[in-house]
Amino acid sequence: MAFQYQILADQIAKKINSGEIQPNQKLSSLRCFTKNHNVSMTTAKSCYELLESQGLIFVKPKSGYFVRTTKEQINFPIHPEFGSHPRMITNLELQNEIQEASINQHRVHLGAIQLSPKLIPTQTLRRSLQRALKHSAPEDFLYSDKQGHIKLRQALSNHCAEDGIYISEESIFITSGCMPALSTIIQMLTQVGDSVIVPMPNYNGQQLLLANLGRKIVETPASHTGIDLHRLEQVMANSGAKICLLTANYQNPLGFCLTNDEKEQIAKLAAKYKCFIVEDDIYAECGHSLHRPLPIQYWDKEGYVFLCSSISKSLSPAYRIGWLCLPHQQEHLKEKLLSLLSIVNTPLQLGLADFINSRSYRVHLNQLRPTLMKQVEEYRQFIVKNFEGLDIKLTQPQGGYALWIQLPEKIDSLDIYKFAKEQGVNIVPGEVFGEDKRYSNFIRISAGYPLNVYICKALLTLKVWIKNTCY
């Protein structure tokens, strides 16, 4: 459950965003707030501090709290048009290089989408692991169930149910991360040479996965507002692709979250064209609001949606636990699925089960979401302020912590990537987020670390290089 100050802040935020509370309007004093809402002074302060961190209100010394005027705006990226046809993925050597470079811990962290160690509850995780080992049974140290330990599957089922997502523990299969889950389903449902529909731009790791599996790709357009559903239907109808790989909740790198109506429509399209949806829901817990959005799987009535996720983006990328959900209509695939799975470390499974059951994961998420919102907005405002005068465009993600930046046309993303690398800075060039060099003047940066002096310096270094290159 969310904390009371978060619920109150969410209510006020909705009134501000809807216009019910006007810009520059003065809010109740802390004393009046406590009286009106029957809460403590601590809760009132936490509520206003959260709204302040979200950039919605500000403090005037000796005057009180006021609603901010509309934030300084920057244009959203323009997304190029392209055709949709089956093709092999290119630039594998470059894809591999950039994938490895993005996780280099000796550079300034603007590459891999990962949380700062400061945002990982290491002590609580450690206690859960210790408790799990203390109470483990002797059989937990033998070969385990390939489907995953029942304690973890039950914990995940209960956790999802709290968010209105009802998945039986019998439908959950534990994997060593989200990517192995995606890989397993793709191998189970397709053959080498088959095509997979993927909205673009898209996380380059998924493209690398498809290339390594020998699958072709059919690109379909996406933008900061979401997926072109009309084109998606056309591609489903005409491409011959058996599956579609997509992220509905806080897609990487664009950060959009599809509406419930759009998700329901995709589920219906999947059934209509018998095209399986492999849903990567890894960012769903990293939203910038209190509530976890529903997955496409929620509207799946005929068993065409396979939900996959992990804790890599919401908790720790080193904690290699993920899962996939087998629709009950596809129960006949269970044995084939099990044959493709590998046994996952049992102590880690038990540790995560304890972490969830003890409410530690829920508490962590309630703290993480407003922190991520604040961090992402700080990055955006820093870029808006310091890149003024340069022809750049920037996303405003609804969740997650990826920022997609369109640079002036003269800029080649590989050139700025190489320059950044020489300066000890990690970024990911747009070149690897799609084919035909259509994103050659884009870059993706991560806002998973607090905006410190080193990151500010790195961003300013990139700004100077862009300015010198263009002017």
Q: Are residues 345 and 377 in the same domain?
A: no
Q: Are residues 353 and 377 in the same domain?
A: no
Last residue of a domain, one of 360, 389, 420: 360
Q: Are residues 374 and 345 in the same domain?
A: no
Cβ within 8 Å of residue 235, ≥6 positions away: 84, 197, 218, 220, 241
What's the structural domain count of the chain? 3
- Domain ranges, residue 213: 92-106+117-360
Q: Are residues 387 and 332 in the same domain?
A: no
- Considering the domain boundaries, does residue 87 fall inside one? no
Q: Over the stretch 122-166, which tens digit does the pLDDT of each residue have?
A: 999 999 999 999 999 999 988 889 999 999 999 999 999 999 999
Whether pLDDT at 1 is above 80: no
Q: Are residues 351 and 324 in the same domain?
A: yes
| Token duo for residue 32 | 């009046």
CATH number for the domain harbouring residue 209: 3.40.640.10
Q: How many CA atoms lie within 13 A of 149 on its CB side?
A: 25
| Token duo for residue 402 | 């990826």
Q: What is the β-pairing status of strands 243-246 and 57-60?
A: unpaired
Last residue of a domain, one of 301, 329, 360: 360
- Considering the domain boundaries, does residue 85 fall inside one? no
Q: Tell me the three-class secondary structure of the chain, residue by residue.
A: CCCHHHHHHHHHHHHHHHCCCCCCCECCCHHHHHHHHCCCHHHHHHHHHHHHHCCCEEEECCCEEEECCCCCCCCCCCCCCCCCCCECCCCHHHHHHHHHHCCCCCCECCCCCCCCHHHCCHHHHHHHHHHHHHCCCHHHHCCCCCCCCHHHHHHHHHHHHHCCCCCCHHHEEEECCHHHHHHHHHHHHCCCCCEEEEEECCCHHHHHHHHHCCCEEEEEEEECCEECHHHHHHHHHHCCCCEEEECCECCCCCCCECCHHHHHHHHHHHHHHCCEEEEECCCHHHECCCCCCCCHHHHCCCCCEEEEEECCCCCCCCCCCEEEECCHHHHHHHHHHHHHCCCCCHHHHHHHHHHHHCCHHHHHHHHHHHHHHHHHHHHHHHHHHHCCCCCCEECCCCECCEEEEECCCCCCHHHHHHHHHHCCECCEEHHHHCCCCCCCCEEEEECCCCCCHHHHHHHHHHHHHHHHHHC
- Considering the domain boundaries, does residue 83 fall inside one? no
**pLDDT for position 55:** 74
Q: Are residues 314 and 406 in the same domain?
A: no
Q: Over the stretch 301-343, which tens digit does the pLDDT of each residue have?
A: 999 999 999 999 999 999 999 999 999 999 999 999 999 999 9
| Token duo for residue 437 | 């060099």
Last residue of a domain, one of 360, 390, 425: 360
Q: Distance between CA atoms of 70 and 267, rounded to whole angstroms?
A: 36
Q: Over the stretch 168-206, which tens digit does the pLDDT of each residue have?
A: 999 999 999 999 999 999 999 999 999 999 999 999 999
Q: Distance between CA atoms of 49 and 9, rounded to whole angstroms?
A: 9
* In contact, 189 and 243? CB cutoff 8 Å: yes
- Considering the domain boundaries, does residue 81 fall inside one? no
CATH number for the domain harbouring residue 383: 3.90.1150.10
**Average pLDDT estimate for 411-440:** 95
CATH number for the domain harbouring residue 18: 1.10.10.10
Q: Are residues 391 and 322 in the same domain?
A: no
Q: Over the stretch 53-67, which tens digit does the pLDDT of each residue have?
A: 777 888 888 788 999
278 φ, ψ (degrees, to nearest 5): -100, 105
Q: What is the amino acid identity at position 391?
A: D
Whether pLDDT at 19 is above 90: no
Q: pLDDT grade, residue 108 (50/70/90)?
A: very high
Q: pLDDT grade, residue 345 (50/70/90)?
A: very high
Q: Are residues 351 and 419 in the same domain?
A: no
Taken in order 174, 180, 182, 185, the sign of the CA dihedral is negative
- Considering the domain boundaries, does residue 111 fall inside one? no
- Considering the domain boundaries, does residue 288 fall inside one? yes
Q: Is the pTM higher than 0.85? A: yes
- For the chain, the average pLDDT equals 93
Q: pLDDT grade, residue 17 (50/70/90)?
A: confident
| Token duo for residue 411 | 């800029």
Q: What is the β-pairing status of strands 276-280 and 305-310?
A: parallel
Q: Distance between CA atoms of 365 and 1, rounded to whole angstroms?
A: 10
Q: pLDDT grade, residue 46 (50/70/90)?
A: confident
Q: Are residues 331 and 410 in the same domain?
A: no
Q: Are residues 157 and 127 in the same domain?
A: yes
**pLDDT for position 429:** 96
Highest mean pLDDT among 12-21, 39-48, 332-341: 332-341
**pLDDT for position 70:** 57
CA-nearest of 295, 297, 246 to 271 is 297
Q: Are residues 16 and 151 in the same domain?
A: no
- Considering the domain boundaries, does residue 386 fall inside one? yes
- Considering the domain boundaries, does residue 121 fall inside one? yes
Neighbours of 46 (CB within 10 A): 19
Q: Tell me the three-class secondary structure of 160-178, residue by residue.
A: HHHCCCCCCHHHEEEECCH
Q: Are residues 62 and 209 in the same domain?
A: no
366 φ, ψ (degrees, to nearest 5): -65, -30
Q: pLDDT grade, residue 72 (50/70/90)?
A: low
